[in-house]
Amino acid sequence: MPNTARLSEKFQISIPKAVRAAHQWKAGQEFVFIPKGTGVLLVPVPKPDELAGIAKGANATDYRDRKDRF
């Protein structure tokens, strides 16, 4: 059976321990909710230091500029 949670009267949801442990989520971590059809994706917001070097080796010669926009 999948892990489930119930929305409280204060509109809060507790994430099941198995899900938190599997994704190594910690208390105080920030998340973003992305609407998808009839559901929602819950995605952790990365810290700036986790993004360092993410574009290393990217080829900037064939990037899309803003000339195609009105």
Report pLDDT for 9: 97
Which structure tokens are listed for 29?
Answer: 């971590």
60 versus 29: the higher-pLDDT residue is: 29
Distant-in-sequence, close-in-space partners of 41: CB < 8 Å, separation ≥ 6: 33, 34
Report pLDDT for 39: 93
The string of pLDDT tens digits covering residues 19-52 is 999 999 999 999 999 999 999 999 999 888 888 8
Report pLDDT for 25: 93
